[in-house]
Structure 1
Amino acid sequence: MHIRNSAKAIIMSDNKVLLTKNVDDDGYFYLFPGGGQEHGETLHETVTRECMEEIGEQVDVGNLVHIREYIGKNHEYSSVDSDFHQVEFYFVCTIKQEGCTLPSNPDSHQVGIEWVAVNDLQNYRIYPKELTRYMLNLLINEKSPIYLGDIN
């Protein structure tokens, strides 16, 4: 089994976090912008490229704040993801200069992007859901664990 690295952006402004809006058979769900690391690419390069592809914005990459594993056989979609193992690196990012650029290569299930109030995150279907409880800590500069384990 191959383990995949992924770099994700946590972009916050005015007590909101920027997420990609996606759709599947169960309705809308939200993800942090980012995706798989390509061979020869640093994690910073990965998250920068993925933000252009998914949200159409150039970002400044800040600190690594969380590492999350997703081992598919341990979660709700184990029948589909049983062989999937991904390690995700979450970086605080800021948009360099907001523009009207369209995402250059959104994921197939992506239908848009949305700023979601941190206090409302529990009302959304977000993956990984466990990560949302640390968003308020980021806003108030309170410490959170970096390694979060195999969470969804």
Structure 2
Amino acid sequence: MATPLPRISVSVKAAIVHQDRILLMSYDDHSGFHYNLPGGKAIVGEPLRDAVARKVKDETGLRVRATRLLFVVEYVPEQYNDEFGTVHKTQHNFLAELLGDTATPRKSDPPDPIQVGFEWVPLPELPDKYLLPRVNQQLLDALAATPADRDVLVDRW
């Protein structure tokens, strides 16, 4: 009997850097007070770059364009005693460029009941923030690296 294929939740996150600050969203829930990058789950049939633009607009009102894939985070529930749920997840973290004139985020409509607010955090302060998933150093490393001569996400078959 063949082993069943996993059901995997696919999400996207946007690292939006503006004037040497990164936009973080703050939350207070069962994990306590923490930060996250804007983003969320992709929907069926939606390319990941389009999901970045949609989720950032929904959550912050800001218009962005996903420029390059920084890194992917995988969550396998069995490896973490189901700390963050029982669903296998991949989170694709993109560098995103602000489009338009505004860098002032606004809450979603309807508002997310666990969201506290937004913060443009100076990059040197990022290591001190409680970010979930805990990718502070990977994020700083990816932002500091010289971009490859090509995008690491091949989004065509």
Normalised by the size of structure 1, how large is the TM-score?
0.79
**Matched residues in 2 for 1:101 and 1:132: separation?**
22
Deviates more, 1:8-17 or 1:24-33: 24-33
**Matched residues in 2 for 1:125 and 1:99: separation?**
23
**Matched residues in 2 for 1:58 and 1:143: separation?**
22
Q: Deviations over 1:39-96 (max 9, x none)?
A: 1211111111110111110101101111110123323x62561x21111111110111
Identity among equivalent pairs (%): 27
Is 2:96 aligned against 1:93?
yes
**Matched residues in 2 for 1:89 and 1:25: separation?**
23
What residue in structure 1 maps to residue 60 of structure 2? Answer: 55
Q: 1:72 to 1:38 in 2, by over 3 A?
A: same
Shift of 1:101: 6.1
Letter in 2 for 1:68: V
**Matched residues in 1 for 2:79 and 2:114: separation?**
23
Given that 1:55 and 1:102 are in contact with CA atoms closer than 8 Å, whether structure 2 keeps it comes out as yes
Pairs aligned (count): 142
Q: 1:64 to 1:100 in 2, by over 3 A?
A: closer
**5+ residue gaps, structure 2:** 1-5, 153-157
**5+ residue gaps, structure 1:** 147-152
Shift of 1:100: 5.1
What residue in structure 2 maps to residue 120 of structure 1? Answer: 125
Query: Larger C-alpha radius of gyration, 1 or 2?
Result: 2
1:23 corresponds to which of 7, 19, 28: 28
**Matched residues in 1 for 2:143 and 2:7: separation?**
35
Given that 2:71 and 2:142 are in contact with CA atoms closer than 8 Å, whether structure 1 keeps it comes out as no
Higher strand content, 1 or 2: 1
**Matched residues in 1 for 2:124 and 2:39: separation?**
22
Letter in 1 for 2:132: Y
Is 2:47 aligned against 1:66?
no
Letter in 2 for 1:96: L
